Structure 1
Amino acid sequence: MAEHLVPHFHNGPGVPVIEVGAREFMCIGAPPPYDHPHVFLDMGSDREIICPYCSTLYRFDPTLKPADARPAECRWENAVEAA
């Protein structure tokens, strides 16, 4: 089984901004079963991107590891199991 390489984040807490350590990731909206279609987002060289489904603003923070988020509870820990 292939290892899951794309971090997944959600905005279950309803925060205005989620800082992430990756420029490419999946937004799932909220933890299942309330998730939206899992959307691959790619910031490219930008520092911010808005999810087209849930309007969550993601901001790149180079001090974070690729799979980390601030707030930490916005990282979906079960992404590997669901892949």
Structure 2
Amino acid sequence: MAHESTPHFHNTEGLRSIRIGSKEFQCVGALPPFDHPHVYLDMGKDSEIVCPYCSTLYKYDSTLAPGTSEPLSAIYHSEAA
């Protein structure tokens, strides 16, 4: 159920940064089976955050809809969904 309300993003492409429309999300690293522990990140008042596992820099972009990203390929879709 948590996955339904908290967006998940990945960086399988190895991008330097990913723009996202959410300040609270989970990073999964790369796509399974090469993912890292799915870590919850909260930017709070900041507009950027670095994942402590994979070092992906996530940048908040208020022009993007919540749960979306640039590039769109960074959105993680669980196979269970």
In structure 1, the residue matched to 2:20 is 20
| Number of equivalent positions | 81
Aligned structure 1 segments of 4 or more residues deviating by more than 4 angstroms = none
In structure 2, the residue matched to 1:11 is 11
**1:25-47 CA distance string (max 9 Å, x none):** 00000111110000000000100
1:41 matched to 2:41: yes
Alignment RMSD (CA, Å): 1.7
TM-score scaled by structure 1? 0.90
TM-score scaled by structure 2? 0.92
> 2: CA distance between counterparts of 1:3 and 1:50?
20
Higher strand share: 2
| Counterpart secondary structure, 1:4 | helix
Shift of 1:78: 2.0
| Counterpart secondary structure, 1:37 | strand
Counterpart contact for 1:7–1:79, Cα < 8 Å: no
**1:43-67 CA distance string (max 9 Å, x none):** 0010000000000000000011111
The one-letter amino acid paired with 2:26 is M
In structure 2, the residue matched to 1:77 is 77
Shift of 1:77: 1.9
1:54 matched to 2:54: yes
| Counterpart secondary structure, 1:11 | coil
Shift of 1:5: 0.3
> 1: CA distance between counterparts of 2:17 and 2:23?
15
Consecutive unaligned residues of structure 1, counting only runs of 5 or more, are: none
